[in-house]
Amino acid sequence: MRTSGTTGGLTRGQAEKAFRKLQEAEERRPRPQPEHRGLTVLDAAESLRRQRALEGVRTSYRQNLESMQRVHLTPTLDIPLVKVTSTHVEQLAERMLASGLKPKTVRNVLGFLHSIFEHAIDRGWTHTNPVRRAARPKRRRSGDAEPDLHFLSVSELDAVMRAIPDKVVRRAPAASRRGRGGPAPPPPPEGHC
């Protein structure tokens, strides 16, 4: 509020009007029911995984969600949903990167965590998704070089070329065609590789 004799800040009327707007917005915001206040991130993750199973998602996808929950969320986020902040989410991402995990893995886990909070909002267990405002590792652009990718020097390439034998080994054709019935295809004519 503006102090007497100055021009900075809000007048008393402006401050009261702004406060009423904030108060009305807060009153409209859905509140978690008291019986849901104790629900943890892991409880919501279990519920989301059950929902995904009911929807008929692939078994491998469900197993991946279970693995992300067990390995990354259980050790650090076994706390009530309503207490999780963007800072918690960013600290999780920082720990994962510091342990040597790739940014893509971190983004996948944070994507799962985002889905958990959206599921919890839909159920009325919480009213915010702290993952929305949390910083995440950026995706690499398609033209960026992979930092773990190393190219051979000319001398290393020459050494590899010298190590390859001049004579090419030909394999005998298989007795069948990869599990399908019938004879194997004929061997290629001489001179073709």
CB 134 within 8 A of CB 93: yes
Domains of the chain: 34-123 (1.10.150.130)
Low-confidence ranges of the chain (pLDDT < 70): 1-3, 26-37, 140-149, 168-185, 191-193
Q: Residue 173: its pLDDT value, please? A: 60
Give residue-wise pLDDT tens across range 52-101: 999 999 999 999 999 999 999 999 888 999 899 999 999 999 999 999 99
Per-residue HEC secondary structure of 41-110 comes to: HHHHHHHHHHHHHHHCCCHHHHHHHHHHHHHHHCCCCCCEHHHCCHHHHHHHHHHHHHCCCCHHHHHHHH
